[in-house]
Amino acid sequence: MTREMGKVLKEAGGDVQEAIDCTYYSAGEGRRLHGFTTPAEMPNKFAMCVRQPVGLCGLITPWNFPMAIPSWKLMPALVCGNTVVIKPAEDTPLSTYNLVKACEEAGIPAGVVNLVMGRGSVVGSRMTGHPSLRLISITGSTETGQMVASACAERNAICSLEMGGKNAIIIMDDADIDNAVEGSVWGAYGTSGQRCTASSRLIVHKKVYKKFVDKFVERVKTLRVGNGLDAKTDVGPVINQAALEKIMNYIDIGQREDKARLACGGNQLTKGEYSRGYFIEPTVFADVKPGMRVEQEEIFGPVTSIVPFATLDEAIKIVNGVRYGLSSAIYTADVNNAFHAMEELYTGICYINSATIGAEVHLPFGGTKATGNGHREAGTQVLDIFSEWKSIYVDYSGKLQRAQIDQVEI
């Protein structure tokens, strides 16, 4: 995985462990798959509902978590009784191949899990329009998700979308600043910022703004950029040339168009060992104002923006003031602030005294607004994607009972 997409080796190990955790969790849910029974309206009648498989599911997965995210889709789909066609990102086919190979070695019958390779514009588009695929589940950009949703709508297929994010951490004036700095560094630069949950905005109270910025920038400057296979590396390369160009363009926008202060970083690394990869310095923009492009748009790289605020309600407004709604966080020692933020932050995930990254497999994962279309992955909620409800009525009265009609008095 590290050779494929560059994430540091420890993070790659965590990616694999998440696939293991997801598999164990999904297997346990196979012993439940709960429906429910309920009293019927009529005497001598039994009513219940059960889950049934959707059928053949198309799974399209991204490169940034090339084993964890495929497992989020594949394992619940199988446990619900479906067959699948899975297409990994063209940059990271080997990790998903290894996952599918593990399924084969574990005894999954031939034809149940089918792996196809290719570019999204070719193979992915064929999948989304294929009449045999009853469901398409995709994790990718918001723009790609919208195209998939449109293609599925044309043929009335089920569609589950996990898309972009522009996540923010609020740092209150009563926060543990050192803890907030460490969390913000991890959230902003883990996986080189190439996470849909990355902490790409840091919303900092004016009373501690200078102190936080100074400590944060000092800490960021200590991060070592390099080969992910080197145990000393903190930040690996970005995925490919196109990503590098997009990120560097946003760094340019931040300086020229937004007029934000470049506090550190901002350069592509090209000399020596860096000549053989797509390396960018961890970058910090300070004194960023709400509405700037680097504050609003998903960059998907090792870049974060620091925005000052005066009141908690102002901070919440800034967090909610983007098109996405995936993950948010707040650092505070005040339980009242924490609960107010939990209630008002309009995101699918919310952390208290932690960064915006680090989801666990037994809770639902997903977001609001342009982040998705209302479905959730992970947790028991994912079962609602990969199964359909069937209501069952058993009448043992021995005569015709016409439900509501027989109860009407005229």
Cβ pair 367, 328 in contact under 8 A = no
- Tell me the H-state helices in 107-234: 125-128, 142-154, 177-189, 209-220
Taking alpha carbons only, the member of 64, 80, 71, 63 closest to residue 21 is 71
**Is 196 assigned a catalytic role?**
yes
- Beginning with the edge strand found earlier in the chain, give each strand of the sheet holding 327-331 in spatial order: 261-264, 283-286, 303-309, 201-205, 168-171, 327-331, 349-352
Q: Are 285 and 297 in contact (CB under 8 A)?
A: no
Lookup: tokens for 109: 């019958």
Tokens of 320: 């909610």
Is 57 tagged catalytic? no
- Beta carbons within 10 angstroms of residue 105's beta carbon: 8
Could you say which of 196, 295, 298, 377 is catalytic?
196
Helix (H) or strand (E) holding 252: helix 241-256
Query: Are residues 203 and 171 in contact, defined by beta-carbon separation less than 8 angstroms?
Result: yes
Using alpha carbons, select from 60, 73, 162, 163 the residue that is nearest to residue 118.
60
- Which residues, other chains included, contact 10 with Cβ-Cβ below 8 Å and sequence gap of 6+? none
Q: Which of 4, 18, 29, 162 is catalytic?
A: 162
Q: Answer positive or negative: Cα dihedral of 322, 328, 333, 336.
A: positive
User: What is the C-alpha separation between 405 and 410, in angstroms, rounded?
Assistant: 11
Question: For the stretch 316-334, what's the b/e string if a residue is b when 16 or more beta carbons lie within 10 angstroms of its beta carbon?
Answer: bebbbebebbbbbbbbbee
Instruction: Give the residue from 20, 170, 172 showing the smallest Cα distance to 102.
Output: 20
Nearest-10 Cα torsion for 362, 367, 372, 375: 40
Nearest Cα residue to 372 out of 385, 362, 386: 385
Residue 272, C-beta contacts closer than 8 angstroms, at least 6 positions apart: none
Residues classed as catalytic: 162, 196
